[in-house]
Amino acid sequence: MNKGELVEHIANETGSDKAAAGRALDAVLQGITESLAKNESVTLPGFGTFDVRERAARTGRNPQSGETMEIPASTSAGFKPASALKKRLNG
């Protein structure tokens, strides 16, 4: 499912038009992004938790040349599904 399909699904489920559903989805995604940028987690009960994860610097290897290289530390977003979502996915 892509963003357009998700907007259409939201519009159908809520009885609103696609423009309003698109604005609602954009607002939700913006809220999640802003919270993560402040290093805050976002918990959606029954769905899961978005959080910020730190990756340490490490030594890697270029797969083409075999040469070792330093991979710098980085920050990324992570997601941990709620048990209800896990149960739904696993039948």
What is the SS3 assignment for 21?
A: helix
Q: What would the CATH number be for the domain defined by 41-91? A: 4.10.520.10
Output the pLDDT for position 91.
Answer: 81
Q: pLDDT tens for residues 4-42?
A: 999 999 999 999 999 999 999 999 999 999 999 999 999
37-66 confidence digits (pLDDT tens): 999 999 999 999 999 999 999 999 999 999
Long-range (24+ apart) CB contacts under 8 A made by 80-86 are 80/48, 80/49, 80/51, 81/47, 81/48, 82/44, 82/45, 82/46, 82/47, 82/48, 82/49, 84/46, 84/47, 85/46, 85/47, 85/48
Q: What is the largest CA-CA distance in the chain?
A: 57
Total-model pTM: 0.82
d(CA 59, CA 89): 36
